[in-house]
Amino acid sequence: MNETWRFADVPTPTPGVEWIQMSEDNRMGLVRSTLATSPVRGNSLLVLLAAQQDGHVVFQFTESVGPERRGTILLDVEELLKKAIDPGLFVSLEPLGDRNSLRNLRGIEVKS
C-alpha cells in the first residue's frame, strides 16, 4: 500500500499556544535565530518578511533563484522551522502580481 495514504485524514498541525501568544517581533526573532544557528543550504538568500500568528512565515529571496533550487531551499527551511520551533509553521514567498499589461487594466491585485 502507498505509504502516504496513512496521512489522508491526518489534520494539518496548527501553531501551539506559545507561538500564538508571542509578539510578531518575538516570532520574527525566533525564526531568524533558528536559521542563524541551524543554517540550511541557501537560507542566506532569504529575507524574513513576516511570521504570522497562524504559522505562516513569509520570505523573500535577495537574488534570483531558479525553480530547480528555490523549492528545495524553502522546503528545507520549512522542515527546520517545524522541527525547531513549531510543527504548525509553513513558509511561502511574497506573491507576484500579473505581468500581463492588458489584464492589469481590470485592476485586480493578487492579495498577500
Partner 1 sequence: MNTAVQTREGALILDSHKLSYHIDRVNEWEAGERIAPVSVDMALTRACGAMCSFCYAMMQESQARSSINTSHALHLLDDFAEIGIRSVSLVSDGESTLAKSYVPFIQHAKKLGLDVANGTNAWEWEPEKIEQVLPCLTWVRFTVATGRPESYAREMYKGPEYTYVFDRAMSHIRYAVELKCRKQLPVTLGIQMVLMPYLKDEIIPFAKLGVDLGVDYAVIKHCSDDEQHTLGIDYSQYESMYDLLKQAETMSTDQTKVIVKWDKIRDGDKPSYRRCYGPQFLLQISGSGLVAPSGVFFNARHSKLHIGNFTEERFKSIWKSDRYWRAMHYLASPAFNAETMMGTLPIQHYVNVALDNHAKGIARIKPGVGGKPLHMNFL
Tell me how far, at minimum, the Cβ of 91 lies from partner 1, in Å.
Answer: 6
Tell me which of 9, 23, 25, 37 binds partner 1, using CB under 8 A: 9
Amino acid identity, position 7: F
Order of strands, edge to edge, in the sheet holding 90-93? 46-51, 56-61, 90-93
Tell me which of 28, 45, 82, 84 binds partner 1, using CB under 8 A: 82
Cell numbers 520549512 correspond to 78
107 binds partner 1 (CB under 8 A): no
Tell me how far, at minimum, the Cβ of 26 lies from partner 1, in Å.
Answer: 24
| Closest by Cα among 32, 42, 101, 112 to 73 | 42
Strands 90-93 and 56-61 turn out to be: parallel
7 binds partner 1 (CB under 8 A): yes
Tell me which of 13, 32, 38, 41 binds partner 1, using CB under 8 A: 13
